[in-house]
Chains A and B, each alone.
Chain A
């Protein structure tokens, strides 16, 4: 069965520092991959998606992700974070023909 692993449950980082949130998936078939962000007391908002093509994917709010098929990973990065980036980030995968599988989430805390 498909599973999605987010290696860090919490990531504290100082404002204007770079950040990387890690995500690995397990699948022997092609998958579509997504990163969602959830601000406090809100629903999930799509940050970016990888369906095919270039392994570097640009998202909203200055985020980007690099897909690595051999490592089965899609890590999320931002070169300089802001206080407003404090949120929970979810990685998700859709194996072809199946439903979304979400990772457990990573709580990003940006410190002043």
Chain B
């Protein structure tokens, strides 16, 4: 099993550029989430999904967009990158949201 796969591992963007962070899981998990990790702030929820076709906003959704067309994939789109979006992004999935998540290895994004 690959678990939760995130690509790319590293990315540098210029302010104003757009890009998509990919996340895929092969565990048939219904719940998927995107978090950003910043020093001293732990992980903050950006968007989450409880199943294909269903998404909702988390704590810090501004500047990000998601869709969930399949159970396996949950891409995160940055519409117009800003330096404040420099962070490490983690995707996570769970069979049931209250039983704990499996995390991907992260994408380190720098916006210059």
Contact = CB atoms under 8 A, between A and B. Distances in A.
Interface of A: 4, 9, 32, 34, 36, 42-46, 49, 51, 90, 92, 94, 96, 99-100, 102-105
Interface of B: 4, 33, 35, 40-45, 48, 58, 90, 92, 97-106
A100 B101 contact: yes
Chain A: interface secondary structure?
A: strand
List the 4 closest A-B pairs by CB distance, nearest first. A102-B42, A43-B103, A44-B103, A102-B43
A32 B98 contact: yes
B45 A100 contact: yes
A28 B4 CA distance: 33
Given A9-B40, A99-B45, A43 B100 contact: no
Contacts of A94: 97-98
Given A32-B98, A43-B90, A46-B100, A105 B42 contact: yes
A84 B15 CA distance: 38
Given A43-B104, A43-B106, A44-B103, A96 B98 contact: yes
Contacts of B92: 44
B99 A104 contact: no
B42 A104 contact: yes
Contacts of B98: 32, 51, 94, 96
A42 B100 CA distance: 18
Contacts of B4: 43
A109 B18 CA distance: 38
A36 B94 CA distance: 15
Contacts of B41: 104
Contacts of B33: 99-100
A103 B97 contact: no
A99 B45 CA distance: 8
Contact of A90 (B43, B100, B102): B43
A105 B37 CA distance: 10
A104 B39 CA distance: 8
